[in-house]
Amino acid sequence: MRRSILLLFAWSLLGCDRPDAGPKSAPEAKQAAEPGERDSPTVDSAAATPEDSEPSSDRAAEAGTDSGAAEAASAEPTTSEALEVDRSQSKVGFAVARATVGHVGHFKQFESKLRLEDGHPVALEINVELGSVAADRKGLTQHLKSPDFFHVDQFPSASFAAERITPKTDAEPGSYEVSGTMRLHGVTQELEFPAAIDVEAERVVGRATLEISAKAFGIDYEGMEAELAEDAVQLEVELVFPRAS
């Protein structure tokens, strides 16, 4: 008995379990673990950061959107100019042929606007006051204002708006093809004609000669054939647009 007590006392001093003690249970083994091992959080190596969790397809789409926006920005014009015509240096005229003798005339009152983008013409508008017509014969001037021709009381103005101003690559510099809509005598017609547009440092000068049909615009009065007047009317336009210095 005395010997057993001494053995137990020796085991206690050495920190050993009693020889007859069984294996520790799972909870006891867990408590016996080192403090550092108990407190250390478990790290999931497979956890992804928010950036990594974003689908690659979404990142590619965003990159494509940014690239498209950059291309659109680069396509926008860097400079744009809105120019007003100088009527004192410009002219809107016409010529009417007859079997006997032709007549010429012009309009005293008109307005025109031209827009340049990066130094290139892209838009043009012309508005003419038909009541300001002046022909080479006084009687003809009054006749042109009457219902036989312009009928200025009912249709006081005519206009043209260019929808496309396209440079001609196979011609001299400054050569363009102009396409747009003309309104005259209550009728609207599509026109296409060549034009010369010289963009200079201090001004822009546009010149064009084109032919229109009077009948196509509803101008076909009784007695027109008796006067031997031809249907074709030649328009001669020269417009000068000063640029800001």
Residue boundaries of the structural domains of the chain: 80-242
Using the structure block, give the residue that is written with the tokens 């396209």.
166
pLDDT tens digits for 143-197?
899 998 999 999 999 999 999 999 999 989 999 999 999 999 999 999 999 999 9
Q: What is the pLDDT of residue 137?
A: 85
Q: What is the pLDDT of residue 181?
A: 98
Question: Is residue 50 predicted with pLDDT exceeding 50?
Answer: no
Q: What is the pLDDT of residue 47?
A: 45
Question: Is residue 22 predicted with pLDDT exceeding 70?
Answer: no
CATH of region 80-242 = 2.40.128.110
Q: What is the pLDDT of residue 167?
A: 96
Question: Is residue 58 predicted with pLDDT exceeding 70?
Answer: no
Reference 95, options 233, 217, 245, 237; nearest CA is 233
Question: Is residue 7 predicted with pLDDT exceeding 50?
Answer: no
End-to-end C-alpha distance for the chain, whole angstroms: 123
Q: What does pLDDT average to over the chain?
A: 79
Tokens, residue 6? 């001494």
pLDDT top residue among 76 and 68 = 76
Partnered with residue 181 across adjacent β-strands are 161, 190
Q: Predicted confidence band at 236 (pLDDT cuts at 50, 70, 90)?
A: very high
Does the predicted TM-score (pTM) go above 0.85?
no
Q: What is the pLDDT of residue 68?
A: 54
pLDDT tens digits for 91-111?
999 998 765 567 899 999 999
Q: What is the pLDDT of residue 40?
A: 46
Contact 94, 104 (CB under 8 A): yes
Using the structure block, give the residue that is written with the tokens 């200079």.
200
Q: Please report how many Cα atoms fall inside a 13 Å half-sphere around the Cα of residue 188, on the Cβ side.
A: 4
pLDDT over 90, % of the chain: 54
SS (H, E, C) the chain: CHHHHHHHHHHHHHCCCCCCCCCCCHHHHHHCCCHHHHHCCCCCCCCCCHHHHCCHHHHHHHHHHHHHHHHHHHHCCCCEEEEECCHHHCEEEEEEEECCCCEEEEECCEEEEEEEECCEEEEEEEEEEHHHEEECCHHHHHHHHCCCCCCCCCCCEEEEEEEEEEECCCCCCCEEEEEEEEEECCEEEEEEEEEEEEECCCEEEEEEEEEEECHHHCCCCCCCCCCCEEEEEEEEEEEEEECCC
Question: Is residue 4 predicted with pLDDT exceeding 70?
Answer: no
pLDDT, average across residues 44-58:
50
